[in-house]
Structure 1
Amino acid sequence: MRDALGEIGRVPEFLERVERADDPEAWRELEYRLCLEHDLVPPAGFAALPRLVPLAVSDRRARRLAGLIVRCSAGHHRCDALLAGTAAAIADFGGQLDRHLRTRPADYLDSFIDLLAVAGQYHWSAALGDFSDDFYPVDCPHCAVKVMIAIGDYGRYSAIRDWDHGDVDRRPLRPAFPAELTGTGRWMYDTAARDGQAALAEGIAHLHGRAECPRCAALFTVADEYAAANLPRL
């Protein structure tokens, strides 16, 4: 299996080193070789998952690296058959992440995003932030005008983005009530609320709420339009 440096046979050597003992140099090599620039995974990256996941139980570097690899699963890696063989390891990783989130760790958002990727929600794992400075561009489903959705400390609104004047003609978002949420939105909200992540849960409620188009005044669900435009075609 070629790694990101184009070499064959080196990754097992470094995996053996980190399995035996804490080895910062070996971890640095694995980070270079298994996930290129955080958006491209070579075959060795997917092949390494079954050995990385057991380490991720107690090692944050293994958890981070396994998460980066899973996030890239929807990319153009041409490793579909190899990835399919890691399904059990990825499922185990999802259970680990859920248990880790319940401890309310310092890396909560990163682990939450990794869990979204495990669940196949790659569009959210690629875009979700902490809702302090998040923007989601969508097209109005009624008039096709480009609408910018802002969810952050500066406001929660839909607007037309003008590169000279900023976001103009702002309309406040209408967050969903928790009882209205279904599917992925309900799972995202319930997980964040369960773990005491109030700001994240509130942002998710706005993301899965409704926006008013500044051009035609029609209402639409933000998450539906964003997902329709960005969900990978696997």
Structure 2
Amino acid sequence: MTDWSTLIDACGSAGHVPALLDRFEADPSGVWSELMDHLCPQLDTAFTASFAALPRLAEIATAAGSENLGGVLSAAGAIASCSPGLSEPDSPLMVFSAPIAVLHDLANRSLSQTAEAEAEEYVNLLQALLSFEGVETWDRSLSGLQTGEYEVDCPYCGVNVFVVIGHDGYFCCTDDYSLQEVQKSPLQPARGQQLEGLPRRLFERALADGQERLAHGVRHLFGRAACPDCGTGFSVSERVVAGWIP
């Protein structure tokens, strides 16, 4: 049995967390923000009580209906994404490997059941899936595929570059394209056969799940761009990783 009084959350002693989890199970959408305030504020900080809550979150997710499952998985995914990697001693991803495996299976199945119109939910589930696997950076950096924009810096001149991937097109620019006409430099998407490792997996997974627009976005995210100011070519994904602040 977990002695919650010996653990901490964002507010101090975690003795109240079991009751909070009970309320979350009864009303996931209504209690989600409060749960995150205690266990994973700003979705980027976790505590001993946060990781200890993963077994209970796996139970809640297993029993949740389809309308609430995504919220439970995103809560658990946010916590898992704060864990030290699998190579670290006593990583929570290893300590709580059994409930994380349950959460991973649920996320995996939910992805294939998410309609293309629900792109935001799909990206959130995909990030949760990666967090349960211990994938770093991309477990929290795929949201630009849904919002349609990343901000990076040019590796040569340092200027801030908007990389647009989505409804507004596929280009990069250095000025606010939503307010004025700007000089645009087209993105060069990676060919499907050029993708390897995680990028290829993301591309093929999105295609298999009927998320064709997101699959197209993956090709551009892992493709190349050129700075509109100095003309320097760069890998979009490498600049996203370089600018990532965990």
Matched, 1:169 2:183: yes
- Once the two structures are overlaid, the 10-residue window that deviates more, 37-46 or 203-212, is 37-46
Matched, 1:95 2:105: yes
Aligned residue number for residue 40 of structure 1:
45
2:146 & 2:37 partners in 1: Cα distance?
30
Percent identity of the aligned residues?
A: 34
1:132 Cα offset (Å): 5.5
Aligned residue number for residue 12 of structure 1:
18
Give the direction of change, closer, same or farther, for the CA distance of 1:153–1:62 in structure 2 (3 Å limit).
closer
- Give the one of 134, 152, 165 matched to 2:148: 134
Contact 1:109 1:130 in 2 (8 A): no
1:207 Cα offset (Å): 0.7
Per-residue CA deviation, residues 12-53 of structure 1 (Å, 9 max, x unaligned), is 3454x479xx6339x836455323343332221111112212
Contact 1:158 1:171 in 2 (8 A): yes
Contact 1:133 1:153 in 2 (8 A): no
Give the direction of change, closer, same or farther, for the CA distance of 1:91–1:141 in structure 2 (3 Å limit).
farther
- Once the two structures are overlaid, the 10-residue window that deviates more, 82-91 or 161-170, is 161-170
Contact 1:131 1:200 in 2 (8 A): yes
1:136 & 1:101 partners in 2: Cα distance?
23
1:142 Cα offset (Å): 4.0
For structure 1, list consecutive stretches of 5 or more residues without a partner in the other structure. 75-79
- Once the two structures are overlaid, the 10-residue window that deviates more, 175-184 or 1-10, is 1-10
Q: Which residues in structure 2 correspond to 1:112-127 (within 5 Å)? A: 112-127=126-141
SS of structure 2 residue aligned to 1:156? strand
1:163 & 1:153 partners in 2: Cα distance?
13
Q: Which amino acid aligns with 1:108?
A: Y
Give the direction of change, closer, same or farther, for the CA distance of 1:231–1:192 in structure 2 (3 Å limit).
farther
1:102 Cα offset (Å): 1.6
SS of structure 1 residue aligned to 2:243? helix
Q: CA RMSD in A?
A: 3.3
1:98 Cα offset (Å): 1.1
Aligned residue number for residue 50 of structure 1:
55
Aligned residue number for residue 151 of structure 1:
165
Aligned residue number for residue 2 of structure 1:
8
Contact 1:147 1:159 in 2 (8 A): yes
TM-score (norm 1): 0.79
2:165 & 2:175 partners in 1: Cα distance?
14
Give the direction of change, closer, same or farther, for the CA distance of 1:66–1:167 in structure 2 (3 Å limit).
farther
Aligned residue number for residue 77 of structure 1:
none
Contact 1:150 1:157 in 2 (8 A): yes
Aligned residue number for residue 191 of structure 1:
205
For structure 2, list consecutive stretches of 5 or more residues without a partner in the other structure. 1-6
Aligned residue number for residue 180 of structure 1:
194
Contact 1:148 1:159 in 2 (8 A): yes
2:46 & 2:136 partners in 1: Cα distance?
15
Give the direction of change, closer, same or farther, for the CA distance of 1:72–1:161 in structure 2 (3 Å limit).
farther
1:30 & 1:160 partners in 2: Cα distance?
38
